[in-house]
Structure 1
Amino acid sequence: MIFEKFTTFHPVFQAFLATCFTWFVTALGAAMVFFFKEINRKTLDGMLGFAAGVMIAASFWSLLNPAIELSEEMGLTPWIPPLVGFLAGGAALRIIDKLLPHLHPGLALSEAEGVKTHWRKSVLLVLAITLHNFPEGLAVGVAFGAVASGIPSASLAGAAALALGIGLQNFPEGTAVSVPLRRSGLTRWKSFMYGQLSGAVEPIGGVVGALAVIVMRPLLPYTLAFAAGAMIFVVVEDAIPESQLSGNTDIATLGAMLGFAAMMTLDVALG
């Protein structure tokens, strides 16, 4: 019944609602700070590995593969738009990564990246996760925009599966922000607010992605691949290294395998 009602909404509003869901799951993860001041590191690394696996699977099954199929349907050389879009997505994230001040969880304040600033550690931590969440919102928005554009290889169920998968991996991300902030001395409420705030950018990315695809349909294969490239950059640059920081390599790797399998199953079964 809920899904039937959802199908009646405008695609941009669908993307907005889907990314509000992913933001909500980020907030649920951040809410763990009300129950724990410390999360077992092995558990957290397994969760982060799971998140990385979900993002890798989503990048291919929900974004790159449709970009290849769409390129063929549009009469384009099937490998050129995915290649160009994928590399452009990674390059864009690299540029933002170099410019935006941010601090990855688990690192000292002196290891902050981007333009030098005197901002507090809590702000820099939130910016790091926010930087990663925007491509996720963009990916969900592009998926819903592809459905609205009447692309044969795109389906509403597939877009919903992508949103569900992104939501699942947002839970550990919210926890990974709020718990370290609590440990550093912030109150539970402030730690939660900062943690959930990192997901607030996803609805923005979702609306932007959906609008861009609907308005510029010929660019859709490039846009799909762009979102994939941005997500893979995030996984390789941060999610995987962070899950390995404490030496729990086997647990993090197992988590990544399970995350990949879960997202692949969701996409194939629902898409």
Structure 2
Amino acid sequence: MVLFALVIHLASNLLSQCYRSGDSIGGTRNYTYMDAVKSILGGKKVTICGLIQYLNLAGTAIGYTIAASVSMMAIKRSNCFHKSGGKDPCHMSANGYMIAFGITEVIFSQIPDFDQVWWLSIVAAVMSFTYSAVGLGLGIAEVAENGKFKGSVTGISIGTVTQSGTVTSTQKLWRSMQALGAIAFAYNFSMILIEIQDTIRSPPAEYKTMKKATSLSIATTTVFYILCGCMGYAAFGDLAPGNLLTGFGFYNPYWLLDIANLAIVVHLVGAYQVFLKLLFTLWYTLYTIIFYSVDTEHQASC
């Protein structure tokens, strides 16, 4: 976790210096990551870097959609468990929630400059703090109730019997890779850092403000991530769920879990708009080019 934080901090600082070409204060602005690549590297590297960026954005869209639908489904399931007293397994599909999330994002995408609304970042920060604090608090409460720390320094033990079967060395390696992927996904904001930096007022120079903001945000989130991960594992040990708030490591208080999962959904709705603005722009550009060319050919034939 600390290694990923250091890498993303370094990458963010380097990218913040790329916002302006030449002079970091009065140089030509690069409004997007692709503008920076074009002005600094040029050539085929623009196509390669652009492809990588848009693939990452597409992956982010998929990840956000799945995460939001899982949290929405968790709200429904926690209430179902509460009403049935834990007797009903409350199996359900996430497809409807994915569709609902997608429709919501399409509606919000029609609002001009919604990703630049001044209070959007405040809401995202509050929501992030809310679900992180709930997860951390429940983990601490569970450890206090157990009276000890569960688990080990090396992680889940080979041979442990879980709901999915006995853990083998291959499964442990796979889980470790999944954990690393989840950590990397949590620190993926650098791919739109220049686009975010373009919204910062100056003076002072944009890169100075961005450096301070990224340093503070990375330090804060890293501390929360480490605390939540450690306390969650200490609370359940080898039987810890993949997600404390949706994997039902906790069942009560169910209303607190609902609040935390609702905060996740609200956070992801706004984050989706900020991250996927570039994809929306790309789709609109392609749509315009294709239909404009078709319309032009049709008029020429007439």
- What TM-score, normalized to structure 1? 0.46
- What TM-score, normalized to structure 2? 0.42
Which has the larger Rg? 2
Normalized per residue, the structure richer in helix is 1
The higher-RCO structure (CA 8 Å, 6+ apart) is 1
